[in-house]
Amino acid sequence: MKILLIITGLLMSTGLPAQPKQNMKLNAGIITPHLAETKKFYTQVLNFGVTFENEFYLLLHTPDGGAELSFLLPDHPSQQPLFQKSFQQQGVYLTIEVAHVDEEYRRIKLLNIPIAIELRNEPWGDRHFAVVDPNGVGIDVVTYAKPEE
């Protein structure tokens, strides 16, 4: 109770009103000319579903529907300049957490998808491998575990 009063006092002293918890959803997007290849990769390799699609936009969702990822054609006249330049294939990665990374690794290998980082254990507990999507985005497929002691 004492801590709550201190925090409330600090918020009031800064002049900032305490904000109620807001529902917020993140939808990351990649601007790419490779919509067809992207759709094929994410739906056939990673088992994503299509939430929405038109001639210049593709919205995909994870198999459980818990997250979405969008792709947009570059230089589309319906978009503002901020959303027109194509992704330059560097500086972005996605992490997909799965219950059984070994099974996903075997399944993806059977699809003849090139593996960028072979299945491995990390000292901090991750067991993972990585592939690259048609846009050059690295995708880390991981099962988290407690680090070995």
3-state secondary structure the chain: CHHHHHHHHHHHHHCCCCCCCCCCCCEEEEECCCHHHHHHHHHHHCCCEEEEECCCEEEEECCCCCCEEEEECCCCCCCCHHHCCCCCCCCCEEEEECCCHHHHHHHHHHCCCCCCEEEEECCCCCEEEEEECCCCCEEEEEECCCCCC
Q: Give the pLDDT confidence of 26-51 residue by residue, as tens digits.
A: 888 999 999 999 999 999 999 999 99
Q: Quick check: is 8 in a domain? A: no
Q: Give the pLDDT confidence of 102-146 residue by residue, as tens digits.
A: 999 999 999 999 999 999 999 988 999 999 999 999 999 999 987
Considering only residues 76 and 14, tell me which one the structure prediction assigns the higher pLDDT. 76
The residue range of the domain holding 115 is: 24-143
Q: Quick check: is 10 in a domain? A: no
pLDDT band at 90 (very low <50, low <70, confident <90, very high): confident
Question: What total number of domains does the chain contain?
Answer: 1
